[in-house]
Chain A
């Protein structure tokens, strides 16, 4: 279908965008890549009075390698830019791998990290990645900026804590220990589709024992989440079949998967455990320099 009528505002600065959002008193939506918003408009699931287009805010399109070994990413950075960024590949290879699963080329050319995070689809890769990587999200509003931990940003499916007059501007990824091992596994019914489930793991091997373990899953709850019990099941000992099984069991226990025509909750719970097992094996193989089978 065709979208309902709206007024169009092309913002050229963050201040302009925030002012335009505030001026519409909660009736305006931000459009960045538009790859999730425009389908919702076309289906008439949304009827905002105005769209505030931030594609002209050039200073929000950047990937900066920070001195501490992390990254700062502008909210308007396209998926294709992240997919092909040497800094992402070097510092956060797990993110680079996740980007290979995001949609298709024409969507990646347009879609942005800020848009994906603000849309907060429970089966999208980027919300899971900022959760896994403990990102700090910088948000601009009429009263200035505030910083949010990624874990506090998502507030249920397709919902964030962003106020109606706020704009996500920057994503800051703190450094990972180097070297580290990582694993990412996703299952979708077709390449580029939203996942039924995915799992990502980052860890180090310290004196033969797993340390600095982070484990996140998505598609199996309202929001992507780290599973503390699964991380705890791995820490402090070598990764083995037993610890992997314990971590997968902890994940299956912790999640509350949705149920739809693509799969039952039982199926998704089973599936995510399998993906977790594979992700742990890959991460451990990479961390111990035994990554031959992990590619």
Chain B
């Protein structure tokens, strides 16, 4: 029996201490140990992007990262953005532009968008499509997702790169 490993992680500003088996994906840790089920698990091999979260401010696939590797890290999941009554500006843009249907890909789309905005992706359709091409959506045909992201970029402006509730993480590793 392989022993569990103690880890300390900060997720959405709250610190958790847990013991995890080394093979536990960060995605499963978030969902099953912390009950933060907003992070979705799709393909489980890094293709679909549904499990994208921010690890020390950078977008990563939580199905390709082990929880034990996140020891000491700061994590932001979709639960760290807004609440149903108080959506973040990006979430609001997704709602206004009807950028989701079934919603399965949405958490990954949102987290990837935060990173592409903070890394200075130009606010053009081509650049946004390229930057989001690692996130698959089977409902929308992407049109409204691209519109929502462009609207959010325009609203944030050149100074808004690091917006969206990631104040702690954006500074940590940006």
Q: Do A and B come from one complex?
A: yes
Given contacts A107-B134, A191-B130, contact A6 B23 (CB under 8 A): yes
Indicate if the CB atoms of A38 and B119 lie closer than 8 Å.
no
Indicate if the CB atoms of A53 and B23 lie closer than 8 Å.
no
Indicate if the CB atoms of A106 and B134 lie closer than 8 Å.
yes
Q: Whole-angstrom distance between the alpha carbons of A43 and B23 in the complex? A: 13
Indicate if the CB atoms of B64 and A34 lie closer than 8 Å.
yes
Indicate if the CB atoms of A51 and B22 lie closer than 8 Å.
yes
Given contacts A34-B64, A34-B65, A53-B69, contact A104 B23 (CB under 8 A): no
Which chain A residues numbered 22 to 45 have a C-beta less than 8 Å away from chain B?
31, 34-35, 38-39, 41-43
Identify B5's interface contact among A8, A55, A107, CB under 8 A.
Answer: A8
Most chain A beta-carbon contacts within 10 A, residue among B21, B58, B112: B58
Indicate if the CB atoms of A105 and B69 lie closer than 8 Å.
no
Given contacts A6-B23, A7-B2, A8-B66, contact A106 B130 (CB under 8 A): no
Residue B61, interface by CB 8 Å: yes
Residues of the A chain whose Cβ atoms lie less than 8 Å from the Cβ of B61? 35, 106-107, 110
Indicate if the CB atoms of A192 and B60 lie closer than 8 Å.
no
Interchain nearest-CB distance for A141 vs B (Å): 24
Which bracket fits the contact residues of B? 20 to 34
Given contacts A35-B46, A190-B133, A192-B134, contact A106 B23 (CB under 8 A): no
Residues of the B chain whose Cβ atoms lie less than 8 Å from the Cβ of A105? 59, 112, 115-116, 119, 131, 134
Residue A5, interface by CB 8 Å: yes
Contact with B along A71-106 (1 / 0, CB 8 A): 000000000100000000000000000000001111
Indicate if the CB atoms of A8 and B64 lie closer than 8 Å.
no
Indicate if the CB atoms of B23 and A5 lie closer than 8 Å.
yes
Which bracket fits the contact residues of A? 20 to 34
Number of A-B contacts (CB under 8 A): 90
B3 nearest in chain A by CB position = A7
Q: Whole-angstrom distance between the alpha carbons of A90 and B4 in the complex? A: 47
Residue A3, interface by CB 8 Å: yes
Residues of the B chain whose Cβ atoms lie less than 8 Å from the Cβ of A110? 58, 60-61, 64-65
Indicate if the CB atoms of B115 and A106 lie closer than 8 Å.
yes
Residue A109, interface by CB 8 Å: yes
Q: Whole-angstrom distance between the alpha carbons of A120 and B161 in the complex? A: 35
Q: Whole-angstrom distance between the alpha carbons of A10 and B22 in the complex? A: 11
Interchain nearest-CB distance for B71 vs A (Å): 8
Indicate if the CB atoms of A39 and B134 lie closer than 8 Å.
no
27 contacts between A and B (CB under 8 A): A1-B44, A2-B23, A2-B25, A3-B25, A4-B23, A6-B2, A10-B68, A35-B46, A38-B45, A38-B46, A38-B64, A39-B45, A39-B64, A41-B23, A42-B45, A55-B69, A103-B134, A104-B131, A104-B135, A105-B116, A105-B119, A106-B49, A106-B134, A109-B58, A110-B60, A110-B64, A190-B133
Question: Which residues of B are interface residues toward A (Cβ below 8 A)?
Answer: 2, 5, 21-23, 25, 28, 44-46, 49, 52, 55, 58-61, 63-66, 68-69, 71, 112, 115-116, 119, 130-131, 133-135
Question: Which residues of A are interface residues toward B (Cβ below 8 A)?
Answer: 1-8, 10, 31, 34-35, 38-39, 41-43, 51, 53, 55, 80, 103-107, 109-110, 190-192
What are the 10 tightest A-B residue pairs by CB atom distance, in nearest-first order? A104-B134, A8-B22, A39-B45, A109-B58, A191-B133, A106-B59, A38-B64, A3-B23, A5-B2, A110-B60
